[in-house]
Chain A
């Protein structure tokens, strides 16, 4: 699936988007998997209360299922308007 990062999450991880092969079944499992990769992921995902997640371009929670999902995006709380 495609994993996207925005704002400071993108800056900390260092890329806007990557393809991830995973057997994770929930967003939380995907996060745990990414955190074991490299320190920059661990730093970016260290405080999940400071992060929001969208699955297939809809806002959701970290316990959301990844079944059939094509795109997951991580970003800080939004500051529109």
Chain B
């Protein structure tokens, strides 16, 4: 299990390759990458992601450990950035390795659902009109109930 919180960009290709080649007897590797899109109203210049330094790493490790305990996984990778990002930048990625694909897919979805609303990050979007905090969505909170 590897959990990384960082300001710098990460190399998705290299991370995915390293993750996939680091295990034997894993029939399925699933990766998900979150990318900065435009603000819903358009015209976004940049996004700034604030986080809670003392808590973020621990919260992510707890979520990843829970995934490992629920599914038959060979490994889990979580990388999440903070700081200033622009459209098209990669915000975060998760990767799961399992003997079978169902576990790898489900665990990746679980990780994403929990990262959305239980990891202490807050996104702020800057447009020509000013800056606005991104509001949490009810459906993101509701998504947790399926687990």
Query: What residues make up the interface of A, taking CB atoms closer than 8 Å to B?
Result: 4, 6-8, 54, 57-59, 71, 73, 75-81
Give CA–CA (A15, B20) in the complex, Å: 44
Give CA–CA (A7, B118) in the complex, Å: 15
Give the interface size bracket for B toward A. Answer: 20 to 34
Q: Most chain-B Cβ atoms within 10 A of its Cβ — which of A7, A57, A76, A79? A: A79
Minimum distance in angstroms from A49 CB to a CB of chain B:
12
- CB of B92 within 8 A of CB of A81, answer yes
Known contacts A57-B55, A59-B118, A71-B54, A77 near B136 by CB under 8 Å: yes
**Number of residue pairs across A and B with beta carbons under 8 Å?**
69
Query: What residues make up the interface of B, taking CB atoms closer than 8 Å to A?
Result: 34, 50, 52, 54-55, 58-59, 80, 91-92, 112, 115-124, 133-136, 141
> Ordered nearest first, which 6 A-B pairs have the shortest CB separation?
A77-B136, A80-B121, A7-B122, A80-B119, A57-B55, A81-B116
- CB of A76 within 8 A of CB of B115, answer no
Contact of A81 (CB < 8 Å), options: B54, B59, B119, B120: B119
